[in-house]
Amino acid sequence: MKRKSQIANFFRALWAVVWKDLSAEWRSRELLTAMLVFALLVILIFNFALELDARARASVTSGVLWVTFAFAGTLGLNRSMATEKDRGCLDGLLLAPVDRSAIYFGKAIGNLVFMFVVEVIVLPIYSVLYNINLFRPGLLLVILLGSIGYVAVGTLLSTMAVQARTRDILLPILLFPLVVPIMIAAVKASGGFLQDLPWIEVSTWINLLIVYDVIFVAVAFMLFDFVVEE
Amino acid sequence: MLFHPATFAPQLRCNRRMITVRKLVKRFGPKTVLRGLDFEVESGEFVALLGPNGAGKTTFLRILASLSRPAMGEVQIAGFFLPGQASSVRRRLGVVSHLPLLYGDLTAEENLRFYGRMYAVPDLPPRITEVLEMVGLAARRRDLVRTFSRGMQQRLAIGRAVLHDPDVMLFDEPHTGLDQDASVMLDTVLQEVAARGRTVVMTSHDLARTADLASRFDVLSRGKIVASVQRDDMESTNNLLAFYRQAVEEA
């Protein structure tokens, strides 16, 4: 009975954090606007910088896409945690009598929703600009898995970085080396689907993405309590 | 009615030790901020923690609030130990700092609803109404917190802290940045909070303001409690400044 109540408390707190992040963003639209403008500028600049034929387009698309998602994602992760820190709200969250991993998962789900919104808007625009069909089930699966891994580790590191005065610089410095395996796997898998490679050649990268997602989510779950404590 | 009927238990709020701290040490790198601090508070007491800048008041309050882990020593609140039983302690604590701990892009009501869910407050909607009336913000319940003045934000911060009806309230310099009128209004709310039998620990620089509120005055200097006096033992609260100066000088 006590166990059931603990689980119910966990999910209630998790949902409360997600609801709070989405409601606040719905009002201000600060975070999504910044992420979207940045993402669209990146793909626009790449579009003019790279004069590509159809074959070259398929090979560079995955790289351009993931660079766009990674940079826009960093912007969102930084802003999402800065909102908690600026008015002392992170302390407010930590004072609540809930399992702190519920706070982590709540923040991570909120960040993932913001990342998905940006991706849903960027993909069709990219398709039109580069004249390439990105709506392939395999590619969408890679975007889902890559985003989960990126946000899992990014939410943990942004919680660490936000405690420092140099948080804007610190997050990318901490985050990018750690997400290199996710980025490589995501770029390779996306490229494979765009070039219509057989499943056997792509599946290795998909498996790698799944393994990294599981590892990063588990590590973040275990470390969050230590990261937030003074 | 200020307290939620399901959680109001006045019999728990009298005649027992609420906070016990023994030989508390806190270090930040090579710097030792708290040096074997001992501190006790009975249930229902209102203790003002006075001290110069850098004495360790905020650090001490953050340890009591379970936001910071001590290097050594024992902390017990409402019968639960920190950090081992932190979740049980947090359930019984309400904390107000000089930062509001509120979300500017949510309304007053939404902020309280969010914290109510985090604390699993039963019958939340009527409790939110009750708390907003207590802090005098019922008419502004649907306004965004970022449109509030500093004084209104601080009153809502107190509302947030009492929402789950805690036994112990910790106030860290709650008057910081408030003008005279807002401070007077905040004092009224503080007096109401204390009058309900809650145990209160408040840090402050403002001796005149504190003198009217607290039932005991402790002076924290160089990481230790160096002096303590009951309000009833003072001939007049006008003597508080002299008491404070003497305690700090002797430390």
* pLDDT-derived band at B106, boundaries 50, 70, 90: very high
Predicted confidence (pLDDT) per residue in A93-129, tens digit? 999 999 999 999 999 999 999 999 999 999 999 898 8
Q: What is the CB neighbour count within 10 angstroms for residue A226?
A: 10
Query: Is B218 contained in some domain?
Result: no
Are B69 and A229 a contacting pair at CB < 8 A? yes
Q: Quick one: what percent of chain A has pLDDT higher than 70?
A: 98
Q: What is the CB neighbour count within 10 angstroms for residue B219?
A: 24
* pLDDT-derived band at B15, boundaries 50, 70, 90: low
Are B118 and A93 a contacting pair at CB < 8 A? yes
Out of A75-89, B6-20, B133-147, give the one with best mean pLDDT: B133-147
Query: Is B48 contained in some domain?
Result: no
* pLDDT-derived band at A1, boundaries 50, 70, 90: low
The residue of B82, B118, B147, B158 whose CB has the most chain A CBs within 10 angstroms, and thus the best one to mutate to test that interface, is B118
The residue of A17, A20, A86 whose CB has the most chain B CBs within 10 angstroms, and thus the best one to mutate to test that interface, is A20
Query: What's the domain range around B143?
Result: 93-165
Please tell me the predicted confidence (pLDDT) of residue B104.
Answer: 93
Mean pLDDT value across chain A = 90
Q: What residues does B42 pair with on adjacent strands? A: B17
Query: Mind giving me the DSSP string for B107-158?
Result: BHHHHHHHHHHHTT-SSHHHHHHHHHHHTT-GGGTTSBGGGS-HHHHHHHHH
Mean of pLDDT values over A141-160: 95
Query: Is B66 contained in some domain?
Result: no
Q: Quick one: what percent of chain B has pLDDT higher than 70?
A: 94
Q: Pairing state of beta strands B224-230 and B93-96?
A: unpaired
Name the residue facing B105 among A27, A92, A97 (closest C-beta).
A27
The residue of B27, B80, B103 whose CB has the most chain A CBs within 10 angstroms, and thus the best one to mutate to test that interface, is B103
- Judged by a CB distance cut-off of 8 A, whether residue A97 touches chain B is yes
Closest CA–CA distance from residue A31 to any residue of chain B (Å): 12
Please tell me the predicted confidence (pLDDT) of residue A38.
Answer: 92
Looking at chain B, which residue has its C-alpha nearest residue A6?
B120
CA distances from B60 to A32, B29, B205, B243 (A): 39, 16, 15, 22
- Tell me the HSE value of B20 on the side-chain side, using a 13 A CA sphere: 8
Of A20 and B206, more confident: A20
Mean pLDDT value across chain B = 87
- Judged by a CB distance cut-off of 8 A, whether residue A95 touches chain B is yes
Mean of pLDDT values over A38-42: 92
Check whether B2 has a pLDDT greater than 50: no
Name the residue facing A9 among B69, B105, B120 (closest C-beta).
B120
Mean of pLDDT values over A131-151: 92
Looking at chain A, which residue has its C-alpha nearest residue B91?
A97
Tell me which H or E stretch contains A143.
helix A137-161
Are A89 and B67 a contacting pair at CB < 8 A? no
Q: Is the dihedral of CA A62, A64, A65, A66 positive or negative?
A: positive
Please tell me the predicted confidence (pLDDT) of residue B193.
Answer: 80
DSSP state of B233: G
Mean of pLDDT values over B53-74: 92
Looking at chain A, which residue has its C-alpha nearest residue B27?
A230
Query: Is B18 contained in some domain?
Result: no
Chain A residues with CB under 8 Å of B56 CB are none
Instruction: Give the range among B93-97, B140-144, B246-250 with minimum mean pLDDT.
Output: B246-250
Cα separation, B97 vs B29, in Å, equals 24
Check whether B11 has a pLDDT greater than 60: no
Check whether B12 has a pLDDT greater than 60: no
- Judged by a CB distance cut-off of 8 A, whether residue A12 touches chain B is yes
Predicted confidence (pLDDT) per residue in B182-234, tens digit? 788 788 888 888 888 889 999 988 888 888 888 999 999 989 999 999 888 87
Cα separation, A2 vs A91, in Å, equals 27
Query: Is B119 contained in some domain?
Result: yes
DSSP state of A155: H
Instruction: Give the range among A51-55, A57-61, B60-64, B85-89 with minimum mean pLDDT.
Output: A51-55
Of A50 and A98, more confident: A98
Query: Is B65 contained in some domain?
Result: no
Looking at chain B, which residue has its C-alpha nearest residue A19?
B114
Please tell me the predicted confidence (pLDDT) of residue B178.
Answer: 80
Name the residue facing B62 among A15, A23, A230 (closest C-beta).
A230
Instruction: Domain count for chain B, please give it.
Output: 1
B29 conformational bin, left if phi > 0, alpha if psi -120 to 50, beta if neither = left
Q: What is the Rg, in whole angstroms, of the alpha carbon atoms belonging to chain A?
A: 18
Are B67 and A83 a contacting pair at CB < 8 A? no
Residue B149, φ and ψ in degrees, nearest 5: -70, 170
Check whether B13 has a pLDDT greater than 50: no
Mean of pLDDT values over A196-211: 93
- ipTM confidence: 0.89
Q: Is the separation of the CB atoms in B150 and B59 below 8 Å?
A: no
Query: Is B137 contained in some domain?
Result: yes
Are B69 and A16 a contacting pair at CB < 8 A? no
Q: Pairing state of beta strands B31-42 and B46-50?
A: unpaired
Mean of pLDDT values over A204-217: 95
Cα separation, B76 vs B91, in Å, equals 14
Closest CA–CA distance from residue A84 to any residue of chain B (Å): 8
Chain A residues with CB under 8 Å of B104 CB are 87
Of A37 and B16, more confident: A37
The residue of B114, B124, B167, B173 whose CB has the most chain A CBs within 10 angstroms, and thus the best one to mutate to test that interface, is B114
Q: Is the separation of the CB atoms in B141 and B132 below 8 Å?
A: yes
Please tell me the predicted confidence (pLDDT) of residue B147.
Answer: 95
Q: Quick one: what percent of chain A has pLDDT higher than 90?
A: 64
Of A37 and B237, more confident: A37
Query: Mind giving me the DSSP string for A56-104?
Result: HHHHHHHHHHHHHHHHHHHHHHHHHHHHHHHTTHHHHHHHSSS-HHHHH
Mean of pLDDT values over B16-29: 92
- Tell me the HSE value of A157 on the side-chain side, using a 13 A CA sphere: 25
Cα separation, B183 vs B199, in Å, equals 21
Token pair of B67 as six digits: 């936001």
Query: Is B154 contained in some domain?
Result: yes
Please tell me the predicted confidence (pLDDT) of residue B197.
Answer: 83
